[in-house]
Amino acid sequence: MKMFSANIEDLRTLYITNLKKALDMEQKITDALPKMIEKSTDPQLATAFRDHLRQTEGHVANVEALVRNATGDADTETCKAISGLVTEAEDSIKDASDTGIRDITLIACGQQVEHHEIAVYGTLRTWANILGLTEDVRILESILNEEKEADKLLSTISDGVNLQAAA
């Protein structure tokens, strides 16, 4: 736990601090996804999580490169929001003993994470644009689009899985 807050006095510092949080976020998601894959019983859901794990590993590399370009190292800042979402997901998965209910729980938790990522990358992209960081904008826009697609895919999968669980 931090004893003192970072001294954020300008947009560039705020941008870099949040890039470091995004790196931490992606690393935590990379750790969480294998557990979600293991707990998925719907084959389409497990495949979606597997594919997103590969994308997330790419996001880690891309965000790490952005942080390294901005600071010279790849240090992170703790993303408290994703820590909470991952803990909530782990608890919810444990609580769902029925496999159908567990699958819809996994989808709900996955979408909560995706929505957080969409907010993070939309904000970072906007700030990078204001700062004139054209290459950062391109990379962040690409990640943002992948997160939006992952969310859409989970919505599509939920259409069938939710009905099966309700039956």
Structural domains of the chain, with CATH: 11-166 (1.20.1260.10)
Give the C-alpha separation, 152 to 46, whole Å: 15
Structure tokens at 42: 């719907």
Estimate to the nearest angstrom the gap between the alpha carbon of 34 and the chain centroid: 14
pLDDT of residue 4: 44
Q: Are 56 and 34 in contact (CB under 8 A)?
A: no
Q: Is residue 90's pLDDT more than 60?
A: yes
What is the per-residue pLDDT across 106-118, written as a single tens digit (0 to 9) for each?
Answer: 999 999 999 999 9
What is the per-residue pLDDT across 149-158, written as a single tens digit (0 to 9) for each?
Answer: 999 999 999 9
Residue for token digits 């557990």? 35
The pTM (predicted TM-score) of the whole model is: 0.91
